[in-house]
């Protein structure tokens, strides 16, 4: 890496604000490049976006990738990734990388998890069944060895619905762990990997209770000057309408304006454009690649199920309104239908290319509308179009 890249600070510049909504366009500066916001981050769970090469992702317009701390710590292990030069070298992606906390994956293990002030003990039943303990310091050590640009604090992610005392406890544990993560981050020299700094984001929890969300946010602000904030604990079983009841005021009225706001684990197209209107900047989700493996594609006409026999003689593209390499490359709905029904690997690859491009392009167009001062019109037109039928 060049010396200029090593010296690049983590800063966030707001370049435009929409006059009728809370939408804003920004630029997040990282040691591995600038990230224009709003942005969708494709998920490379195990150091790969399933079926796609890094060069393909770059060609699609990907600016930043996400990788998963839990899965990489299990296999191949943070020490091996470190030995191989960190995630950027290991997966041959040289743009920015964000690693999540692993908290969602750990707590999805359900009865195999035990919480305590010192951290979390869990049984990795999806691997070898071994018992593992993570303290906040352990979590930060894994993050350092993986070497991502942006890392997330260890947090507890309560599902929905959960009793209020359980959600309150999640807020307190997450705040307690955030402080210890920050101290570990500081003691490691702002968590550097081979001389390159890493940014630590705090995570706001609190379930569907706005007062608990605000408590979590204020506790994080009291702990440290985090360069950005994740918003966790949404899209965990609740409807989007219930989610926005607390998410909308949290983001638009209470979260620090000069810090990037990252809604974790959400990738539904309609939710993205609605969230941008409230001031969200960053998103990630496995949805585009997972739905691709199930034979479905996003489109300007709504979700398209390519398993449907009605497409078997359809000579048109997946989405006539899309400019991705699949839709402009001559691949017909009939061909995609054939691949999906025959369970060919190419079906997942082509649909993943399309779905990821669809979300990247959606955020690119949203950014253009913000800069032009027409985001409300952009949002209204999208919600009134068939594209909003994406469930």
Please choose, from the candidates 272, 327, 273, the residue with its C-alpha nearest in 3D space to the C-alpha of residue 304.
327
Whether the CB-CB separation of 367 and 38 falls below 8 Å is answered with yes
Q: Angle of helix 345-372 relative to helix 375-383, nearest 10 degrees? A: 140
Helix (H, G, I), strand (E, B) or coil at 149: coil
**How far is the C-alpha of 210 from the C-alpha of 39, rounded, in Å?**
25
Q: Which residues of 164-201 are buried (b: 16+ CB within 10 A; e: fewer)?
A: eeebbebbbbbbbbbbbbbebbeebeebebeebbbbbb
The β-bridge partners of 114 are 121
Active-site positions? 100, 284
Helix (H, G, I), strand (E, B) or coil at 187: helix
**How far is the C-alpha of 155 from the C-alpha of 210, rounded, in Å?**
18
Structure token pair of residue 57: 């992702």
CB atoms within 10 A of CB 270: 18
**How far is the C-alpha of 60 from the C-alpha of 361, rounded, in Å?**
9
Where would I find the H helices in the chain? 3-7, 54-60, 69-74, 78-83, 87-91, 103-107, 136-146, 164-187, 210-223, 240-249, 269-278, 287-293, 333-341, 345-372, 375-383
**How far is the C-alpha of 71 from the C-alpha of 308, rounded, in Å?**
34
């Amino acid at each position: 890496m060049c010396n200029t890249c090593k010296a690049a600070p983590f800063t966030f510049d707001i370049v435009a604000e929409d006059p009728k909504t809370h939408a804003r366009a920004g630029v997040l500066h990282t040691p591995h490049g600038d990230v224009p916001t709003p942005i969708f981050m494709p998920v490379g769970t195990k150091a790969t976006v399933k079926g796609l090469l890094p060069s393909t992702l770059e060609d699609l317009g990907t600016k930043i990738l996400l990788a998963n701390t839990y899965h990489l710590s299990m296999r191949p292990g943070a020490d091996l990734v470190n030995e191989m030069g960190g995630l950027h070298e290991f997966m041959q992606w040289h743009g920015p990388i964000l690693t999540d906390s692993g908290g969602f994956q750990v707590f999805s293990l359900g009865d195999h998890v035990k919480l305590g002030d010192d951290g979390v003990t869990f049984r990795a039943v999806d691997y070898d069944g071994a018992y593992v303990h993570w303290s906040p310091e352990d979590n930060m050590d894994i993050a350092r060895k993986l070497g991502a640009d942006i890392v997330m604090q260890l947090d507890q992610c309560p599902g929905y619905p959960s009793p209020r005392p359980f959600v309150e406890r999640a807020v307190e544990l997450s705040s307690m762990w955030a402080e210890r993560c920050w101290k570990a981050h500081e003691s490691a020299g702002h968590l550097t990997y081979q001389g390159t700094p890493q940014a630590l984001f705090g995570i706001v929890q609190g379930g569907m209770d706005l007062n608990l969300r605000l408590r979590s946010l204020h506790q994080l602000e009291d702990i440290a000057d985090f360069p950005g904030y994740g918003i966790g604990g949404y899209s965990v079983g609740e409807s989007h309408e219930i989610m926005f009841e607390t998410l909308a005021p949290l983001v638009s009225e209470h979260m620090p304006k000069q810090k990037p706001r990252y809604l974790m684990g959400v990738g539904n197209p309609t939710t993205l454009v609605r969230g941008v209107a409230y001031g969200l900047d960053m998103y990630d989700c496995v949805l585009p690649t997972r739905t691709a493996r199930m034979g479905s594609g996003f489109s300007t006409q709504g979700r398209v199920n390519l398993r449907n026999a009605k497409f078997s003689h359809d000579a048109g593209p997946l989405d006539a309104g899309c400019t991705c390499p699949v839709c402009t490359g001559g691949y017909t709905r009939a061909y995609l239908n054939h691949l999906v029904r025959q369970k060919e690997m190419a079906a997942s690859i082509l649909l993943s290319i399309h779905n990821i491009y669809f979300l990247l392009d959606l955020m690119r167009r949203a950014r253009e509308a913000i800069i032009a001062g027409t985001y409300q019109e952009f949002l209204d037109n999208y919600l009134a179009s068939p594209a909003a039928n994406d469930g």
